[in-house]
Amino acid sequence: MQKLLLTLLFTSLLIAEVYDGVAIVVKDKAITLLDIKTAMRLAHVDAKTASDMLIRKELEKIEIEDRKIHVESSEVYDEIKKMASRNNMSISDFYDAVRESNGLSSTELKEKIKERLLSQKLYQQIAYSSLSEPSDAEIEEYYNMHKENYKHPASFTVIIYDANDRNALQTKIDNPMFYSPQIRTNEQVLPYDKISPELASLLERTPLNHFTNVIPNGKGGFMSFYIKEIESAKEGGLESVRNQIINSIMAEKREQVLGDYFARLRHNADINVIREVE
């Protein structure tokens, strides 16, 4: 009898310990307090928003399972090849760049890309059949309301610092007066519309008269861009950004359809909030 009581007590303690870390259960999928706090930190959002994001993510996973949507490893590899090609890198150098900038291993990167491709396929099944192309009137109205969103520099004047030794290059960034014969320099003007979106984003995020983070140069070495000058773009008018506007409108329409769909799904789903993050 005493042994049975001890067993039951030990089991109850284990159950309590398990549930101590669980905040929300979506059907049979647990979302932990740590999951919520991590999402808050990474997305810079409050606890409620983080919880809603994670619930939506779990509902998406359930839908993907129910619809038997899958992604082949060859699809993931093709996507990685495209991303590497857009950045003028080999796949190996692209893995290195991702690891340097985001701390993701190649395995973690593949998993994230797989998750994104699964979500895209799910979204296509749910939303794309419900969407119609925006009219000219919609495009013009959207442009007039969001002109600021479509402004970007015309070009960047940069000094490219290039070296085989990453540590030497980092020392140069930390101390611009540092000199090393290992470090090569090359000044260039990079037109915004001639560089990859990823590089454009990196340069836009970097303040004038500052270095970018160190990234692989695609040749087994490393590089950093020093932003010397930024040329402002001239007003191009609606036609110069028509395709971007269409993409933006379609993205908003798609998210509206998806938002409504998952709101209904959430309303009918078995979701148990055990505790809230303080």
H helix or E strand, kind and range, residue 190:
strand 184-191
Q: ∠ CA(11), CA(13), CA(18), 5° rounding?
A: 95
Amino acid residing at 211:
F
**Integer angstrom CA distances of residue 31 from 18, 64, 65:** 12, 18, 18
pLDDT digits (tens, 9 = 90+) for 243-254: 888 989 988 888
Q: ∠ CA(97), CA(167), CA(156), 5° rounding?
A: 55
Domains and CATH numbers, the chain: 2-57 (no CATH), 152-231 (3.10.50.40)
How much is the pLDDT for 65? 92
Beta pairing partners, 227: 158
Contact assessment for residue 168 and residue 183, using Cβ atoms and an 8 Å cutoff: yes
How much is the pLDDT for 235? 63
- The residue ranges of the chain whose pLDDT is under 70 are 1-20, 129-130, 233-236, 278
The dihedral region occupied by 189, where left means phi > 0, alpha psi between -120 and 50, and beta the remainder, is: beta
- H helices within the chain, ranges in order? 2-20, 33-43, 47-66, 73-86, 91-102, 106-126, 136-145, 166-174, 197-205, 242-268
User: Phi then psi for 128, rounded to 5 degrees?
Assistant: -60, -35
CB 153: neighbour CB atoms within 10 A?
A: 16
